[in-house]
Structure 1
Amino acid sequence: MRDLTCDLLIIGAGSGGLSLAAGASQMGADVILLEGHKMGGDCLNYGCVPSKALLASGHAAHAQAHGAAFGLADQQPVVDYAAAKAHVQGVIDSIAPVDSQERFEGFGVRVLRAEGRFVDAKTVEAGEDRITARRIVIATGSRPFVPPISGLDQVPFLTNETLWALTEHPAHLIIIGGGPIGMEMAQAHRRLGSQVTVIEAQTAMGREDPEAAAQLLEALRGEGIAILERTEAQSVHQEGAEIVVETPTGAIRGSHLLVAVGRVPNVESLNLGVAGIETTRGGIKTDASLRTTNPKVYAIGDVAGQGQFTHLAGFHASVVIRSILFGLPAKVKTSHIPRATYTDPELAQVGQTEAEARKAYGAALEVVRFDYAHNDRAIATRQARGFIKVMVVKGRPVGATIVGPQAGELIATWSLALANRLKMSQIAAMVAPYPTIAELNKRVAGAYFSPRLFENTFVKRVVRLIQRWLP
């Protein structure tokens, strides 16, 4: 057993762990990074990157089949599913060097390819090494949750981790779970020629604004995706080459099954108890500074139980680095953390939804909206369906909901606004190039002021008076 010491030990080389390792090492800290599986974690290998690459394949196929509106003959795409998966792997391979062991060793990080396990409050064993660190950060991420559905363990099923190895085109893909992962993979596979059925025990996209979710689900159903809401998957079995999911309304038969019902934190192998680290149902228990119940240990990213987003993990890294390297107080503020579902149309949210804001602010809340139907770029590209609505209290936005093309891009402006407590007047003052989808952000801010300017009789009287006196 080799004894090692360092300033900072990071367990997990996903997006949060890598961001922290790069920053800390380049600012002079002695950093050891543990990773027992793939560098880059879930995001690079199984999540954000491959899913968006497959969605891009689906988008290309859909464009071929729907060219008539642009003066092009509709062409039924010839889908090579194995080639689409090769495209996905190529994208992963292109990005992988950025997350590679070699790159981080170049920053001065000692990278050990082993899983870590606490042996006391400040010591972790990893393979043949015993590491004692001044500070430890747990960034082990999460994995797919496998629900206790009768018979599921007796049939072959896919998760977001195993889907990418599949090269056989699914004739009929059954998806259990109607959240963002389920919806994205439903649309990607439908556009690549699969029949798709989504089974959701509650409401599909139930976390999102109901009006925005309804528009998204309508679009997916319009493409031929069967979405069964408030339908429980009671049991699963196999009959020959078919997988059969039994529901209260009957059996669903398909060629492949994808389980996408959520994720659980990776904590079991860490032996947290000996280090005095408490957990909750959602992950590791932390305070506002992401410190665990062991004051020398922090938790960031999915395992901290505050959300499962790559950008949130990166933000967590930026928070804890202040405490770890400089001893400065730093607390997590999450009201400006956006989320997006990259279907077509996209759905994005930051801050409070309309329902949440009404509950919090009551009559003080104003909701302003602007429709894609009035955006010239959206009209020109025949994407003029969708809307943006912003929840405003005393002139400041407290939340924004967008459903439509490039919603994930547009929401960044509202994250900026919430992070810096900008006023609607500051958003209205920006100038977006014409014609762009980005004009929607300015126009919705303008919609907040329109009734104050154009429907205000006092303003009109003042203008008339001034006009009489102007030379």
Structure 2
Amino acid sequence: MHIAIIGSGGGAFAAAIRAAEDGARVTMIESGEVIGGTCVNVGCMPSKILIRAAQLAQYQRENPFAGLADHAPAIARPRIAAQQRERVEELRQAKYQKILDDNPSIDMIRGRARFEDANSLRVDLRDGGQEQITADRMLIATGASPMIPPIPELADTPYWTSDEAGFSDETPEHLLVIGASVVAVEQAQAFRRLGSEVTILARSTLLSREDPDLGAGLTDAFRAEGIDVREHTQASAIRYEAGRFTLETRNGPIRGDRLLIATGRAPNTRALGLEQIGVETDQRGGVKVDEHLRTSVEHIYATGDCTDLPQLVYVAAAGGTRAAVNMTGGEAELDLSAMPAVIFTEPQVATVGLDEGQARVRDIVTETRSLDLEHVPRALANFETRGFVKLVAEAGSHRLLGAQILAAEAGEMIQTAALAVHHGMTVEDLGDLLFPYLVHVEALKLCAQTFTKDVEQLSCCAG
């Protein structure tokens, strides 16, 4: 069996590896300068390096312990950027190029693919010329690119997207950020901690698609760090003169020397010729897939940020693996009912399952409890009590439906909640489990216990 895969990111490689293991011959087609997709090159990996460096700088500038002197950090942004690039190149070589080099069943063609018909692709090769590829099964895994809003005069300015901002050698004097979701808030806080003044413009509120308490709590944390959060604010026009941006808003102009556009990412599907072969897309251009990763054309599959799935690399990879199983004769489904998600601000934001609003839309009656971190021993010991844990349970049965966490280590806590949701545990089940002491994740146990107990009346390590 011959499988053609358009793209070379996390979802594409997961599919290629599994399909090759199952005996298929795989041809991958990549149009970009480098292989590996968003995550390793401009997304997850480099952004987390930047965020960690910024966090350590902030710890030097300000810490909660009386006996540790604060001091201004010495930040050499070009050296951080060089270190980012080196680590990205290492991982791209070890996790992507080496797989191609070591696996004779996987070939790579460098060029831009377009469907000629439902069974064949025309590839405009990077070195010139064309190649025709016919395959038994096809996988679309072309990822997404920064989405640029249609703000008057924006296109004529040297704005940044996250692709440029993350590797910049420069620390702006005043960074303006348009956007209020994951990339916007992560980058805004990182640049603030590296020494920039930061103003973030939110069309509504921060993290408006999440439980409102999460966005409100993060907004408070940002303002405490000196980040200027402008809620319900949009730029009606943008000018760039003499090295300065001016954003016109209904509340007057906002000025800065750098502008980051972080308003989401759009699927890379427009040039694939999907409309002529009947592959259905949503209004954003995302390929519609079912739980088997099949598109509306039976032998064509899709995964990752180019689809209507959540834009998370581990969803893309899981989808790629399952698509490969199905393309080679198996039967696998992608279950997102217990999908954890993390935003790497400080405090971190982590979610899994349903929040109260999502449960209400599904006509599920819920019981909810929220526990402030001031009741969590590890948070008290660390003098980091900003945040909370919220658990959403089905009324009556007390089956855990979801969790929303705002906490310093929320990303390390959420998988326990994901396992509880996945296995249909009740809050009583969760509250009865043994948790080590002192750990942040004990907050889940304590919050679960609040469904039946007053935690203020418990001793520190009450079982």
Q: Do they superpose with TM above 0.5? A: yes
Cα displacement (A) at 1:434: 1.3
SS at match of 1:170: coil
Cα displacement (A) at 1:321: 2.7
SS at match of 1:431: coil
Partner of 1:8: 3
SS at match of 1:43: helix
Residue in structure 1 matching 2:236, options 234, 244, 251: 234
Task: Say if 1:162 and 1:235 are closer, same or farther in 2 by CA, change over 3 A.
Answer: same
Deviations, residues 240-283 of structure 1 (Å, cap 9, x unaligned): 11111111111111111100011110012211133221222131
Partner of 1:460: none
Partner of 1:113: 110
Q: Which 10-residue stretch deviates more, 116-125 or 160-169?
A: 160-169
Deviations, residues 289-337 of structure 1 (Å, cap 9, x unaligned): 2211211101111111121111111221233233112332x44332211
Q: In structure 1, give the amino acid aligned to 2:11.
A: G
Partner of 1:125: 122
Determine if the alignment matches structure 1 residue 169 to structure 2 residue 167.
Answer: no
Partner of 2:460: none
2: CA distance between counterparts of 1:318 and 1:431?
A: 34
SS at match of 1:437: coil
For structure 1, the residue ranges without an aligned partner over 5 or more in a row are: 1-5, 455-471
Determine if the alignment matches structure 1 residue 154 to structure 2 residue 156.
Answer: yes
Cα displacement (A) at 1:429: 4.2
For structure 2, the residue ranges without an aligned partner over 5 or more in a row are: 458-463
Q: In structure 2, give the amino acid aligned to 1:156.
A: P
SS at match of 2:317: helix
Task: Say if 1:389 and 1:27 are closer, same or farther in 2 by CA, change over 3 A.
Answer: same
Determine if the alignment matches structure 1 residue 34 to structure 2 residue 29.
Answer: yes
Determine if the alignment matches structure 1 residue 82 to structure 2 residue 78.
Answer: yes
Partner of 1:371: 372
Contact (CA 8 Å) 1:430, 1:442: kept in 2 or not?
yes
Q: In structure 2, give the amino acid aligned to 1:161.
A: D
The structure that has the greater radius of gyration is 1
Q: In structure 1, give the amino acid aligned to 2:157.
A: V
2: CA distance between counterparts of 1:22 and 1:203?
A: 41
Q: In structure 2, give the amino acid aligned to 1:138.
A: I
Partner of 2:315: 312
Contact (CA 8 Å) 2:50, 2:166: kept in 1 or not?
no
Contact (CA 8 Å) 2:178, 2:201: kept in 1 or not?
yes
The within-5 A match list for 1:37-436 is 37=32, 38-67=34-63, 69-108=65-104, 109-126=106-123, 127=125, 128-282=130-284, 283-328=286-331, 330-361=332-363, 364-393=365-394, 394-436=397-439
2: CA distance between counterparts of 1:384 and 1:296?
A: 52
2: CA distance between counterparts of 1:322 and 1:103?
A: 19
2: CA distance between counterparts of 1:427 and 1:113?
A: 50
Contact (CA 8 Å) 1:22, 1:104: kept in 2 or not?
no
Contact (CA 8 Å) 1:172, 1:195: kept in 2 or not?
yes
2: CA distance between counterparts of 1:140 and 1:399?
A: 31
Determine if the alignment matches structure 1 residue 448 to structure 2 residue 444.
Answer: no
Q: In structure 2, give the amino acid aligned to 1:166.
A: S
Contact (CA 8 Å) 2:350, 2:411: kept in 1 or not?
yes
Contact (CA 8 Å) 2:350, 2:414: kept in 1 or not?
yes
Contact (CA 8 Å) 2:175, 2:198: kept in 1 or not?
yes
Partner of 1:3: none
Cα displacement (A) at 1:428: 3.2
1 or 2, which has the higher helix percentage?
A: 1
TM-score by length of 1: 0.90
Partner of 2:440: 437
Cα displacement (A) at 1:194: 0.3
Contact (CA 8 Å) 1:366, 1:391: kept in 2 or not?
yes
Contact (CA 8 Å) 1:277, 1:294: kept in 2 or not?
yes
Deviations, residues 33-66 of structure 1 (Å, cap 9, x unaligned): 1212222211111111111111111101101011
Q: In structure 2, give the amino acid aligned to 1:203.
A: T
2: CA distance between counterparts of 1:91 and 1:369?
A: 39
Q: In structure 1, give the amino acid aligned to 2:453.
A: S
Q: Which 10-residue stretch deviates more, 307-316 or 99-108?
A: 99-108
Q: In structure 2, give the amino acid aligned to 1:435.
A: L
SS at match of 1:54: helix
2: CA distance between counterparts of 1:279 and 1:85?
A: 37
Cα displacement (A) at 1:361: 4.2
Deviations, residues 4-31 of structure 1 (Å, cap 9, x unaligned): xx52111111111111111221232211
Contact (CA 8 Å) 2:15, 2:322: kept in 1 or not?
no
Identity of aligned residues (%): 34
Contact (CA 8 Å) 1:82, 1:169: kept in 2 or not?
no
Contact (CA 8 Å) 1:427, 1:445: kept in 2 or not?
yes
Contact (CA 8 Å) 2:13, 2:96: kept in 1 or not?
no
Task: Say if 1:326 and 1:430 are closer, same or farther in 2 by CA, change over 3 A.
Answer: farther
SS at match of 1:60: helix
1: CA distance between counterparts of 2:46 and 2:233?
A: 29
Contact (CA 8 Å) 1:172, 1:254: kept in 2 or not?
yes
SS at match of 1:103: helix
Give aligned pairs, total.
445
1: CA distance between counterparts of 2:86 and 2:377?
A: 36
1: CA distance between counterparts of 2:144 and 2:169?
A: 25
TM-score by length of 2: 0.92
Task: Say if 1:449 and 1:314 are closer, same or farther in 2 by CA, change over 3 A.
Answer: farther
1: CA distance between counterparts of 2:24 and 2:432?
A: 43
Task: Say if 1:326 and 1:443 are closer, same or farther in 2 by CA, change over 3 A.
Answer: farther
Cα displacement (A) at 1:203: 1.7
SS at match of 1:448: coil
Q: In structure 1, give the amino acid aligned to 2:172.
A: P
Cα displacement (A) at 1:211: 1.2
Contact (CA 8 Å) 1:101, 1:111: kept in 2 or not?
no
Contact (CA 8 Å) 2:84, 2:167: kept in 1 or not?
no
